[in-house]
Structure formats: structure tokens, C-alpha cells
């Protein structure tokens, strides 16, 4: 399997290490990544995000949000992935064009794991309100835990255990979007 990694900061590099441990072929792109650095990481250097995504089975996104990265993962880049590919956004909402992602999920069977959303719920929101995301099977969301405290980590771990227990018991999964 081929994994495309966009963004090779600390988290992107850790993802590369783990993918290589599973003997995946890894292609990497980052604004500052050189061919030599990619080689040292064990990844194939790609000069553009499109080159990294071309024919990939999975895409992992780890980029800061800015003018050059807003909607970087859009319809054109998503079309480069294999049908049924997995897209994981662990960066910022807005880096992945969610409308284009929804189209790719519906038309090409792309699956997505989103840790962040363009329309993030507020701190006091008790429910996720993005109906377009919620109504599409094939998109899975998690709580963004970028600034993790011990209490936040424990709360996320408890939520994961509760979801797995509900699934194994045949009950409705708490927090399920669709």
C-alpha cells in the first residue's frame, strides 16, 4: 500500500515511521522537505502534493492553515487518489476542502477520518451541527485533541472505550455522525 504524507513536521514524521514499520511505501511532500531529508526518513520525495497523492491508497495531512494551504486538498488532489482511498486530516479545518471531500466520498468511495473540521463546534456546543458531514457514510470524526491535557486524554480514552463497548454490544455508538 502507498501512503501520501503532506507535511513532515513532528507528527508527519512519526506517521511516516509507523507506516514504514507496516512496510508501506511512503511518498512525502512538505514545503521545506528536500529529497535528501525524504530519503533519510525512508520516504519517496515528491515535488508537489499532487505527485504525492497520485495513485495513493491513503493520504495523511499535517499542515498549518494559511493562504497557501487553504483547500489544498481539493477536488483535483482527491481525484489523484485511488478509488476507495482513505483520507485522514490531522492538521486544521480548512486545509481539506470538505465539499470536495464529500463529493469524492459519494462518487469514488473515498473514506475519511477527520480530527478537525472547517466548521468546528464551539467549546460550549454539546452537539456537532454540520449536517453535510453527518449525513454521509464514510466520514468518521474524532475530537481534536491537539493541546492535550491529562484530563482531556482520559476523557478521549473513556469515549473510545464507550464507543467500542457499544459497538460490541450492538448498541447505538455514542457520538456517531451518520
Range list of H helices, 22-149: 35-41, 49-53, 75-80, 98-108, 131-134
CB 83 within 8 Å of CB 35: no
Say how many residues make up the chain: 178
Could you confirm whether 120 is annotated as catalytic? yes
| E strand spans, 62-174 | 86-89, 111-114, 139-141
Candidates 144, 150, 154, 157; catalytic one: 144
Distance CA 41, CA 115 (A): 25
Candidates 13, 62, 92, 98; catalytic one: 92
Could you confirm whether 25 is annotated as catalytic? no
Written as nine digits, the cell of 15 is 506517521
Candidates 70, 82, 120, 143; catalytic one: 120
> Torsion angle, CA of 155/129/70/35, rounded to 10 degrees?
40
Distance CA 44, CA 41 (A): 9
Could you confirm whether 118 is annotated as catalytic? no
Active site residues: 92, 120, 144
Amino acid at each position: 500500500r502507498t501512503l501520501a504524507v503532506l507535511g513532515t513536521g513532528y507528527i508527519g514524521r512519526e506517521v511516516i515511521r509507523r507506516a514504514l514499520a507496516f512496510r508501506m511505501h511512503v511518498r512525502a511532500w512538505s514545503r521545506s522537505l528536500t529529497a535528501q531529508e525524504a530519503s533519510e526518513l525512508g520516504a519517496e520525495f515528491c515535488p508537489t502534493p499532487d505527485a504525492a497523492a497520485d495513485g495513493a491508497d491513503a493520504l495523511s495531512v499535517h499542515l498549518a492553515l494559511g493562504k497557501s494551504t487553504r483547500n489544498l486538498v481539493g477536488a483535483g488532489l482527491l481525484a489523484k487518489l485511488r478509488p476507495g482511498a482513505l483520507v485522514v486530516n490531522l492538521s486544521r479545518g480548512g486545509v481539506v476542502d470538505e465539499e470536495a471531500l464529500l463529493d469524492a466520498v459519494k462518487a469514488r468511495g473515498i473514506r475519511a477520518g477527520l480530527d478537525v473540521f472547517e466548521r468546528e463546534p464551539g467549546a460550549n456546543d454539546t452537539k456537532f451541527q454540520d449536517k453535510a458531514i453527518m449525513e454521509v457514510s464514510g466520514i468518521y470524526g474524532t475530537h481534536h485533541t491537539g493541546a492535550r491535557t491529562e484530563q482531556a486524554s482520559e476523557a478521549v480514552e473513556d469515549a473510545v472505550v464507550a464507543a467500542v463497548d457499544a459497538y460490541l454490544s450492538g448498541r447505538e455508538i455514542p457520538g456517531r455522525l451518520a
